[in-house]
Chains A and B, each alone.
Chain A
Amino acid sequence: MDTDGRVILYNVTVRYGRRVALEAVSGEFVAGSLTAVVGANGAGKSTLLAAIAGVVRLAGGVVNCAAHRRLAYLPQLTAIDRDYPLTVAELIALGGWREFGAFRSPGAALRARAAAAGQTVGLAERLGQPIAEISVGELQRALFARLVLQDAAVILLDEPFAAIDAQTVPVLLDQVTRWHQEGRTVIAVMHDLDLVQARFPATLVLARRCLAWGPTEIALPAMTA
């Protein structure tokens, strides 16, 4: 990766009204690292990703991400209106928005890349279908394919496998591994600790503050302790 994919947190604090969602979290996601963020409900996991993505206001501290223009963020509750008459291929091709922008149409090369990305997540048969007619798991696959096209240096995934069917999870996990192998920084909020153990080299355990952060085999026990 040519862009510096490091994400450095310094005393990051977020409040919603009076409630402190995240308190003085400091540390560094190394460039090219694959980190699971774990913690109980309300531990500030989603808030941490939103803070890195820059969609919540910090009450204090600094997020330092040189690649903020090459950052891709998949929120847990994507507000996608699935009644809109858009095909799966078109949804995926939106990942190349920065290449074609508001006033040009995606070129043939980009559409070919969108089809290829759709194929790698197992949507080859679905590309021409409207997004209203695909399942939740297939929509998540399409959103992963869109992330592939975004070609981001830093990828933030908020509970990417929640409410996703059992056939889809391994496909998406393989994509996460591929991103890791390509040297991209991947940060994912996770619930399934067995998956974290098996597939994520690094773990950050949150309980509003940072409880543990490091190699999974060292940090993860803090979660169950």
Chain B
Amino acid sequence: MSLHALILEPFQTLAFMRAALVACLALALMNGAVGTLLVLRRMSLDGEVLGHAVMPGAAVGFLYAGPSLLWLSLGGLASGLAVAALGGLIARGGGRRDAGLVAFYLVALSLGVALVAWRGSNVDVMRVLFGTVLAIDRQALLQIAAVSSIIVLVIAALYRPLAVGAVDPAFLRAVGARAPYGAVFSTLVVLGLVASFQAFGTLLAVGPMLLPAAAARCWGLGAAGSMALATGFGLAASVTGLLVSYHVGLPSGPAIVLAAGLLFGISLALANGWSRLTPMIWRGA
């Protein structure tokens, strides 16, 4: 098989592959920024939980209007924001934050599956859980592109307080920056997850967000460099995952997440190996 047939042909001949590619690239641009901040703010678990928190709301939207993207998204947004707010309350109340978050995650997931299965078929459940990246239509594409753009712009505007809030939150409050930046960021995460939801489903949406960012953090770059590398990793995983799923016949969402996971594994191994190797080279010289 020629390189052309391997890499270009699937996208040239099939419109749904092109739509999937554009959607994944738009999401990768947004996920690079959001994911890196999630990792830097030590909120990976929060991201995971919010990903599942989208589920019951999306299920209610499904019950109300069937598989309509708008209603699924609005429902998911509502329940995601509600769980983000509850999580903030738990943290303020001084409770065990991690246990509370995992409780939300389990309840949200079960509730969502139960609601969808109540009125829908098993296919519907699978769709909501794992997404349908190969069935993205024009409306979904526009929604993904719009939401991703808004998120990237907001992060660009609020980057400094978000970064300082991650390093030294008490200092940020002390110098009079009292805007609720944490809540703003959680809202951005929920928005990003809702945008990813049709492509990757509620179970996997957090994968393309966290894995490229975690992989990029292995390389010891600054925050901006990490975001750029995470975006690059996200793009590479999207293209690789789509091509593998096309040629081998795997489901595309999991294939993309697996490709991102592979990048994470390679980064972890190489970065660790590199940091062990450099002192040896220095000693040898």
Contact = CB atoms under 8 A, between A and B. Distances in A.
Given A103-B157, A103-B160, A85 B221 contact: yes
The number of chain B residues touching the other chain, given as a range, is 20 to 34
A84 B163 contact: yes
Given A103-B157, A103-B160, A81 B176 contact: no
Nearest to A80: B168
A94 interface: yes
Most chain-A Cβ atoms within 10 A of its Cβ — which of B164, B175, B179?
B175
Interface string A26-55: 000000000000000000000000000101
A61 interface: no
Contacts of B175: 97-98, 150
DSSP majority for the B interface?
helix
A53 B174 contact: yes
A97 B174 CA distance: 10
A152 to B, nearest CB: 10
A94 B171 contact: yes
A167 interface: no
Among all A-B residue pairs, the 9 with the closest Cβ atoms:
A97-B175, A102-B161, A84-B167, A85-B222, A80-B168, A85-B223, A81-B167, A102-B160, A86-B167
Interface of B: 40, 42, 157-158, 160-161, 163-164, 166-172, 174-177, 179, 220-223, 226
Interface of A: 53, 55, 69, 72-73, 75, 78-81, 83-86, 91, 94, 97-98, 101-103, 105, 131, 150
Given A72-B174, A97-B164, 5 more contacts: A81-B167, A84-B166, A86-B223, A94-B164, A101-B177
